[in-house]
Amino acid sequence: MTPPGTGPDDALERELREAAAVLDPVPPELLQAAVDAFTVRTMDDELAALAFDSLDGAGTVRGDDGPRVAAFRTGEAGVDVEITVSADGARVVGQVMPPGTAEVEVRGRRPVTVTADAMGRFSCDHVAAGPFSLRCRVGGLTLVTEWITI
C-alpha cells in the first residue's frame, strides 16, 4: 500500500487544488457559513428548518415586488421573518415563537444583535446582501435558523 501523499495521482491532485484555489476561490462568507454550520452541530441549539419561503415558486406568480416572507420551525418553536430589500441593505422584521423577550443575533456579513420585545417581535435594518441566519435566545431555548440568502 502506498503511503498517503506519495501516490501517482497525488501531484496532479495538488495541482488541481491549487488551480481551483486561484481560479475559483471559496467566497469568505460561504466559508464562514460552513464553519458556523459545523460549530452548531455540537451545540445544544435547536436547528430551525425553513418551513416556508415566499420565494418558492415566485417566478410563476408575479415579480418580486413585495417583501420576502420566511418561516423557520423546530417542534413547537420557531421564528417568522419578513425581509424587505432596499438600496442600503435589507430590513428584517420578525417574531420569535414562543413569544417572549429574546436576544436575536442576525448572523451574516455584518453580524448584529437586537432584542425582541415581550411578544417576541424584533427588527434589524441594513442587513447586508448575502447569506444570513438567526440565533434566537428566548427563555432557556436557543434556536438557530437555516441559512438563507438575501
Q: Please tell me the predicted confidence (pLDDT) of residue 43.
A: 65
Higher pLDDT, 75 or 37: 75
Q: Please tell me the predicted confidence (pLDDT) of residue 35.
A: 76
Higher pLDDT, 14 or 78: 78
Q: What is the pTM for the complete model shown? A: 0.69
Q: Please tell me the predicted confidence (pLDDT) of residue 58.
A: 56
Residue 89, SS3?
strand
DSSP symbols for 23-61: HSPPPHHHHHHHHHHHHHTTSSPEEEEEEEETTTTHHHH
Q: Is the four-CA dihedral 56, 61, 65, 69 of positive or negative sign?
A: negative
What are the cell numbers at 133?
Answer: 441566519
Q: Please tell me the predicted confidence (pLDDT) of residue 119.
A: 97
Q: Please tell me the predicted confidence (pLDDT) of residue 130.
A: 92
For strand 102-107 and strand 68-74, is the pairing parallel, antiparallel, or unpaired?
unpaired
Please say whether the beta carbons of 99 and 79 come within 8 A: no
Alpha carbon distance 18, 2 (integer Å): 23
pLDDT tens figures, 100-143: 999 999 999 999 999 999 999 999 999 999 999 999 998 888 99
Give CATH for domain 44-149.
Answer: 2.60.40
Stretch among 22-26, 40-44, 96-100, 122-126 having the lowest mean pLDDT = 40-44
Residue 110, SS3?
coil
pLDDT tens figures, 49-97: 999 999 987 554 555 568 999 999 998 899 999 999 998 899 999 999 9
Q: Please tell me the predicted confidence (pLDDT) of residue 46.
A: 87
